[in-house]
C-alpha cells in the first residue's frame, strides 16, 4: 500500500516505522470503527474505534467474523456471529450496504450500528479477506425515534398545537388546530396568527409575544378565539418560547385547548347552583309565611320574576272549616284593566282543563295552536285578554297528590320559557303546596285558638258571678252561726271559695293577655314594703313554712303596677309552698344592681330538671309526674312571666334537682 505514502516523502526522512504501523495509527485515529478479516473470517486487524464500539478487545487470528460480543436484528432477534454481515459478505463474496444491526457489549449496553463489509480480492480475483466499517447510528436513530414519537403526539393531540415566528407568522399547524379552528395546514402556513384573534382582543397577541420575547411562558390563559367560520370559541392558551441551538428565542409554540364544553358545563353548574339558591330562598320564604293570601302573592311575584314572565297567575282552591270551597288567586304583572276583563274561573273544574294530563304544560307559541276540547281553556283564558305567545302552567298538588291549584305564566314573545324554568317552578310549586297547607292549618288553628280564648274568657266570667254570691251568702251565714263546728266548716268553705276565686281570676287574666287586654296601672311604691306586706299576707293563710325576707336593701321606689307585682310574688310563694312541702323554710331575697331591682323566692324543694326550666313559663305547662298530687292549671308562672315582661323586666329560675329552686324577677329601678 505504498500509494498511501505522501509523494514528497523520501526514504531518508521517512519515520522509522513500518507501513503497517502507519496504517494502524491512521486507523486508530479514525472516528469510525474499522476491522478486517482474512479469507477464512479470522480477524486480522481492528482499530480503537472498533474496540470502543464492541466494548471488548478481540484476539487477532482467533476471533471469527466480528469483534462483537452479541448481535441482534433491529427487532431484537439474536443473530449468530457466523451469520453476521461480515460473514455474509465473505461467504457470498459481495459487499453489503449498511443494514442496521444492534451490537450488545459485554456490559449489556446496546448500540445501533450500520455495517459496510466489503470483500477484498487479489490481482487474480481470488478472495483474500474483507474490510468492515461500522457506523454508530445510535444517537441518530434514537433522535429519529423521539422525533417520530413527538410528531405522533402532536398529530394525535385534540389540542391545537401551533408554532409561529416572533413576528407571529404560523410555521406549523397540527390536526387538532385544523379541527378546532377549521383551517387546513396549507391554508394557514405563513399567515399571521391574528386570523384567529377577534378584533377586540388583538392587543392580547402583543402581550403574549412580549412575554415570549423575554423568555417567559404564558400558562392557561383563558380567552376567546375565532374559527374559520367566524365563530367565537372559548380557549385556554399555553404559549412557550422556541429557542435555537444557541438559546436565541426564534418563535413561540402555542397549545390552544377548546374549553367550550368545560365552559358550558361550568356555566350550567353555576346556573344550577344559582337556581338551587333561588329555590332554597323561596322554600324558606314559603315556610315562613303563614298568611295564605300573602304567601300566594309572594310565590306568584317571585316565580313570575324568576322566569322572566310578563304575567303570572296563581289559582288555588281554598276549603274553609265548614267545607265550603272557593277559588283564591293572586296575579303578578297583569294590568288592572285586564284583571277586570279576565274571565277568572269561579269553580275548580277548570283545573282539569288546564292540566288535562295532570302535569306541566309548556307551549312555545299558543297562537299557533288550533283549539280543541282539551286545550281550549288555557288558550282562551290568558291569550284573549293579554295577548300571550309563550305559555307555562305548573300544577300545585296537595299532600295527597290532588291538584288543588296552578301557577300560570305568559309572555307576549314566543319560546320564552325553558325546561329549566319549568323545573324551577315545579320545585317551587311543591314547596308552595306545603306552605299553603301549613298556612291553612295555621289559620285554622288560629281561628280555633281564638274560639278557645273566647270560651275561657266567657266561662271564667260566668263562673265568677255565682261565686261572688255564694261567698256573700257564706259570710252572712258565718256571722249568724255560733256553733263551733259550724264556724269551722264555714271557714273551710270560705277557704275553698278563695282558691276557686283565685283560679278563676287567673283564667280571666289569661284570656285578657291573649286578647291583648291586660292593662297595667302603674304607680310609685316601695318594693321592700310590698314584699313585707305580701309575706305577711301569705304567712297569715299558710303556716306550714316560715317565710323570711333576706335583704340589705332599704326603701326602693319602683314605678310599676303594684297589684300585679304582688300577684307575681304571691304566685311564686304559693308555688314554693306547694312544690316544697317537705321543706320548712322559704326565703325572699331583694337585691339592687345598677339600674335593676332583683327579687328572688328561694325554696329547698325537689328542684326542676334543666330541660324543663325554659318550659315552665309557658301557658298550661306543668312538669309531668313530679307533682301529680299537686293541683294546678299551669298558668301561674305564665301570668307572672307576662306581667314581668310587660314591665320590661326579666323572670327566670335557678334550680338544681334535689336542692331546691330560686325564682327570680328583675324590674327596672
Q: Give the residue, chosen from 576, 588, 604, 644, that forms a contact with ligand ADP under the rule CB under 6 A.
A: 576
CB atoms within 10 A of CB 454: 13
In the complex, the smallest distance separating the C-beta of residue 644 from ligand ADP, rounded to whole angstroms, is 13
Considering only the stretches 46-54, 234-242, 308-316, 618-626, report the one whose residues sit in contact with ligand ADP under the rule CB under 6 A: 618-626
- Residue number with CB closer to ligand ADP (239 or 637): 637
Q: Are strands 218-226 and 650-656 parallel, antiparallel or unpaired?
A: unpaired
- Residue number with CB closer to ligand ADP (273 or 630): 630
Query: Is residue 617 within 8 Å of 661, Cβ to Cβ?
Result: no
Q: Give the residue, chosen from 490, 510, 604, 608, that forms a contact with ligand ADP under the rule CB under 6 A.
A: 608
User: Residue for cell digits 304571691?
Assistant: 570
568 touches ligand ADP (CB under 6 A): no
311 touches ligand ADP (CB under 6 A): no
What order of strands is seen across the sheet that includes strand 596-603? 546-551, 585-593, 596-603, 660-668, 650-656
- Residue number with CB closer to ligand ADP (172 or 626): 626
Task: Give CA–CA dist 141/2, Å, rounded.
Answer: 38
Q: By beta-carbon distance, which residue lies closest to ligand ADP?
A: 632
Q: Give the residue, chosen from 635, 644, 666, 667, that forms a contact with ligand ADP under the rule CB under 6 A.
A: 635
In the complex, the smallest distance separating the C-beta of residue 335 from ligand ADP, rounded to whole angstroms, is 56
User: Residue for cell digits 485515529?
Assistant: 29
Alpha helices in 307-418 (DSSP H): 336-341, 350-354, 376-386
- Residue number with CB closer to ligand ADP (67 or 607): 607
In the complex, the smallest distance separating the C-beta of residue 425 from ligand ADP, rounded to whole angstroms, is 49
Query: Is residue 556 within 8 Å of 527, Cβ to Cβ?
Result: yes
587 touches ligand ADP (CB under 6 A): no
Task: Give CA–CA dist 493/214, Å, rounded.
Answer: 109
Q: Long-range contacts for 90-94 (Cβ within 8 Å, ≥24 apart)?
A: 90/37, 90/39, 90/41, 90/65, 90/117, 90/119, 90/127, 90/129, 90/130, 93/119, 93/121, 93/127, 94/119
Give me 630's grid cell.
Answer: 299537686
Q: Give the residue, chosen from 58, 251, 435, 605, that forms a contact with ligand ADP under the rule CB under 6 A.
A: 605
623 touches ligand ADP (CB under 6 A): yes
The torsion angles phi and psi of 426, rounded to 5 degrees, stand at: -60, -45
Provide the strand spans (E) within 259-360: 311-319, 325-332
In the complex, the smallest distance separating the C-beta of residue 632 from ligand ADP, rounded to whole angstroms, is 2
Query: Is residue 346 within 8 Å of 328, Cβ to Cβ?
Result: no
Considering only the stretches 135-143, 237-245, 314-322, 624-632, report the one whose residues sit in contact with ligand ADP under the rule CB under 6 A: 624-632
Q: Long-range contacts for 489-497 (Cβ within 8 Å, ≥24 apart)?
A: 495/541, 497/467, 497/470, 497/471
Binding mask 268-307 for ligand ADP (x = CB under 6 A): ----------------------------------------
In the complex, the smallest distance separating the C-beta of residue 665 from ligand ADP, rounded to whole angstroms, is 13
633 touches ligand ADP (CB under 6 A): yes
In the complex, the smallest distance separating the C-beta of residue 653 from ligand ADP, rounded to whole angstroms, is 8
616 touches ligand ADP (CB under 6 A): yes
604 touches ligand ADP (CB under 6 A): no
The interaxial angle of helices 484-514 and 636-646, nearest 10 deg, is 50
Query: Is residue 590 within 8 Å of 553, Cβ to Cβ?
Result: yes
Considering only the stretches 64-72, 199-207, 301-309, 575-583, report the one whose residues sit in contact with ligand ADP under the rule CB under 6 A: 575-583
661 touches ligand ADP (CB under 6 A): yes
* Binding footprint of ligand ADP on the chain (CB under 6 A): 575-576, 579, 603, 605-606, 608, 616, 621-623, 626-627, 632-638, 661
Amino acid at each position: 500500500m505504498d500509494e498511501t505514502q505522501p509523494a514528497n516523502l523520501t526514504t531518508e526522512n521517512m519515520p522509522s516505522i513500518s507501513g503497517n504501523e502507519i496504517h494502524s495509527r491512521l486507523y486508530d485515529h479514525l472516528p469510525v470503527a474499522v476491522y478486517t478479516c482474512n479469507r477464512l473470517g479470522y480477524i486480522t486487524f481492528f482499530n480503537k474505534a472498533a474496540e470502543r464500539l464492541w466494548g471488548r478487545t478481540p484476539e487477532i487470528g482467533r476471533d471469527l467474523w466480528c469483534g462483537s460480543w452479541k448481535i441482534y436484528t433491529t427487532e431484537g432477534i439474536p443473530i449468530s456471529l457466523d451469520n453476521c454481515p461480515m460473514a455474509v459478505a465473505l461467504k457470498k463474496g459481495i459487499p453489503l450496504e449498511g443494514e442496521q444491526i444492534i451490537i450488545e457489549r459485554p456490559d449489556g449496553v446496546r448500540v445501533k450500528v450500520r455495517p459496510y463489509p466489503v470483500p477484498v480480492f487479489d490481482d487474480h480475483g481470488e478472495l483474500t479477506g474483507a474490510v468492515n466499517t461500522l457506523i454508530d447510528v445510535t444517537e441518530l436513530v434514537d433522535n429519529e425515534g423521539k422525533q417520530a414519537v413527538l410528531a405522533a403526539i402532536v398529530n394525535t393531540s385534540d389540542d391545537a398545537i401551533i408554532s409561529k415566528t416572533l413576528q407571529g407568522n404560523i410555521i406549523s399547524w397540527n390536526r387538532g388546530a385544523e379541527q378546532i379552528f377549521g383551517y387546513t395546514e396549507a391554508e394557514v402556513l405563513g399567515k399571521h396568527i391574528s386570523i384567529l384573534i377577534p378584533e377586540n382582543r388583538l392587543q392580547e397577541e402583543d402581550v403574549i409575544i412580549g412575554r415570549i420575547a423575554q423568555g417567559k411562558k404564558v400558562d392557561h390563559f383563558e380567552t376567546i378565539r375565532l374559527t374559520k367560520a367566524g365563530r367565537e370559541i372559548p380557549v385556554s392558551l399555553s404559549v412557550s418560547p422556541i429557542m435555537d441551538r444557541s438559546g436565541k428565542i426564534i418563535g413561540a409554540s402555542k397549545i390552544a385547548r377548546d374549553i367550550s364544553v368545560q365552559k358550558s358545563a361550568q356555566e350550567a353548574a353555576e346556573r344550577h347552583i344559582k337556581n338551587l339558591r333561588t329555590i332554597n330562598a323561596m322554600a324558606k320564604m314559603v315556610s315562613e309565611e303563614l298568611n295564605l293570601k300573602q304567601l300566594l302573592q309572594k310565590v306568584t311575584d317571585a316565580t313570575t320574576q324568576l322566569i322572566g314572565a310578563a304575567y303570572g297567575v296563581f289559582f288555588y282552591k281554598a276549603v274553609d272549616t265548614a267545607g265550603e270551597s272557593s277559588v283564591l288567586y293572586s296575579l303578578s304583572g297583569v294590568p288592572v284593566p285586564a284583571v277586570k276583563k279576565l274571565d277568572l274561573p269561579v269553580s275548580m273544574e277548570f283545573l282539569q282543563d288546564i292540566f288535562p294530563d295532570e302535569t306541566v304544560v309548556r307551549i312555545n307559541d299558543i297562537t299557533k295552536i288550533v283549539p280543541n276540547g282539551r286545550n281550549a281553556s288555557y288558550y282562551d283564558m290568558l291569550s284573549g285578554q293579554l295577548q300571550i305567545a309563550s305559555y307555562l302552567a305548573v300544577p300545585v298538588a296537595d299532600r295527597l297528590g290532588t291538584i288543588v291549584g296552578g301557577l300560570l305564566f305568559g309572555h307576549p314573545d314566543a319560546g320564552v320559557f325553558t325546561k329549566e324554568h319549568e323545573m324551577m317552578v315545579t320545585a317551587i310549586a311543591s314547596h308552595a303546596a306545603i306552605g299553603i297547607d301549613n298556612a291553612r292549618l295555621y289559620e285554622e288553628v288560629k281561628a280555633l285558638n281564638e274560639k278557645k280564648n273566647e270560651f275561657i274568657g266567657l266561662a271564667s266570667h260566668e263562673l265568677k258571678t255565682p261565686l261572688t254570691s255564694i261567698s256573700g251568702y257564706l259570710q252572712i251565714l258565718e256571722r249568724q252561726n255560733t256553733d263551733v263546728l259550724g264556724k269551722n266548716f264555714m271557714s273551710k268553705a270560705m277557704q275553698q271559695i278563695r282558691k276557686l276565686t283565685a283560679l278563676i281570676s287567673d283564667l280571666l287574666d289569661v284570656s285578657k293577655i291573649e286578647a291583648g287586654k291586660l292593662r297595667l296601672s302603674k304607680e310609685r311604691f316601695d318594693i321592700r314594703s310590698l314584699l313585707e306586706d305580701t309575706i305577711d299576707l301569705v304567712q297569715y293563710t299558710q303556716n306550714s313554712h316560715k317565710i323570711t325576707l333576706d335583704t340589705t336593701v332599704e326603701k326602693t321606689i319602683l314605678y310599676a303596677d303594684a297589684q300585679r307585682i304582688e300577684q307575681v310574688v304571691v304566685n311564686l310563694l304559693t308555688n314554693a309552698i306547694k312544690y316544697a312541702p317537705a321543706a320548712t323554710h322559704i326565703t325572699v331575697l331583694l337585691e339592687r344592681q345598677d339600674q335593676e331591682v332583683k327579687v328572688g323566692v328561694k325554696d329547698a324543694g325537689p328542684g326542676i330538671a334543666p330541660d324543663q326550666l325554659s318550659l315552665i313559663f309557658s301557658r298550661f305547662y306543668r312538669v309531668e309526674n313530679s307533682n301529680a298530687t299537686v293541683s294546678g292549671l299551669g298558668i301561674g308562672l305564665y301570668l307572672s312571666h307576662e306581667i314581668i315582661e310587660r314591665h320590661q323586666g326579666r323572670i327566670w329560675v335557678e334550680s338544681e334537682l334535689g336542692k331546691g329552686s330560686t325564682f327570680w324577677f328583675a324590674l327596672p329601678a
